[in-house]
Amino acid sequence: MRERDFIRSIEKRKQSANPLLEKGIGDDCAIFRTPPGDDWLVSTDMLVEGVHFDPQWHAPYLLGRKSLAVNLSDIAAMGGTPQLALLCLALPGSCEESWTSAFMDGFFSLLVEHGCTLIGGDTVSSDQLTISVTVMGTAPKEKAVCRNGAQAGDVVYVSGPLGSAAGGLYLLQNEVADLTSLMDDFPALVREHLNPSPQIVLGSILQKSGMLTAMQDISDGIATDLSHIAAASGVAAIIFEKDLPAHEQLLVMCKQLQLNPTTFQLRGGEDYQLLFTVKKGCGKQLEQLVEKESGIQVYRVGEIAQGEGVSLVKRSGATIDITYQGYEHRS
């Protein structure tokens, strides 16, 4: 499909009306207004075939959703609201129009779910399928939750089970069974890898609570992402193996294949759960608030202390260092 035909196909799609947008797709630049009383949040991510996804099992519709979801998750991690998006695609010649159409169907489905508007981007020919997305969001002025506010005495929480996406990826990469069978036996694990859900609503609730000191999403495993918070805040973090939440399907998979679920929980990437620290003495109050406003259960997994690095207290009582021992993008 020629670029101008691709752009026309996008222009025909129904989009959420955004009061901040003065001029969208069709000119050399988009024009948007600065929202009164808010700060802008901007995040970008790149997905490369063979590194971040495998088209053998990642259908274009779900890949379109995931390409946007990983950026929306960053907005959620700051307690923000998604507003505008940019999409750049490097497409191989083998990429048929039906694939591109299905990808955009998925991308737009998630845009609509979160009231976000595509305002532009670019397409080029390439030997390797590469997707780059930028999302812009807003947060109340000086109220976005950053990584650098954790203090000794704070409590560490996560928003849901850990290691599910990594478990799904393991099943797919090791061809434990065909995709249909995997979806029958381990649907939650495969779904978390192929079609993650950004925690936008929860991020907003947490930001508005006033009880948080730091937050980020879990994209590289809690071992690494909690290390980012600890380093930015100048503190140490301790988490407890017995408190790490896991989906029942991860436990079943690990038992069947004789694997250690803790490895997936600590080091597996792409959970896209929220990882956050809560002011001392506010844990129970926050749990009740989140349950009341969203029906979501959050999980206390550790605490912040003086010092540096991240430690894991194992079920045996032994303590080991796990600082930056999650997924590494380059080594």
Q: Is 52 annotated as a binding residue?
A: yes
Cα–Cα distance, 43 to 290 (Å, whole number): 26
Angle CA 144–196–78, to nearest 5: 5
> Position of tokens 């409590």?
155
Q: Is 321 annotated as a binding residue?
A: no
DSSP 241: G
> Position of tokens 């406003």?
293
Distance of CA 272 to the CA centre of its chain: 3
Q: Is 9 annotated as a binding residue?
A: no
Q: Which two tokens stand for residue 128?
A: 């390797």
Nearest to 159 by CA among 197, 185, 116, 119: 197
Q: Is 327 annotated as a binding residue?
A: yes
Cα–Cα distance, 261 to 254 (Å, whole number): 6
Between helices 60-77 and 97-113, what is the axis angle to 10°?
30
Contact 299, 310 (CB under 8 A): no
Cα–Cα distance, 115 to 82 (Å, whole number): 7
Q: Is 154 annotated as a binding residue?
A: no
Q: Is 181 annotated as a binding residue?
A: no
> Position of tokens 């691709």?
6
Q: Is 74 annotated as a binding residue?
A: yes
Nearest to 313 by CA among 247, 232, 237, 228: 237
Cα–Cα distance, 62 to 60 (Å, whole number): 6
DSSP 328: -
Angle CA 45–38–35, to nearest 5: 95
What is the phi/psi pair of residue 218, to 5°? -100, 100
Most distant CA pair in the chain, distance: 62
How is the chain split among helix, strand and coil, in percent rounded to 5? 35, 25, 35
Q: Is 121 annotated as a binding residue?
A: yes
> Position of tokens 């929860």?
202
Q: Is 122 annotated as a binding residue?
A: yes
Annotated binding site for ATP: 121-122, 147, 219
Annotated binding site: 28, 43-45, 52, 74, 121-122, 147, 217, 219-220, 270, 327
Annotated binding site for substrate: 52, 270, 327
Annotated binding site for Mg(2+): 28, 43-45, 74, 122, 217, 220
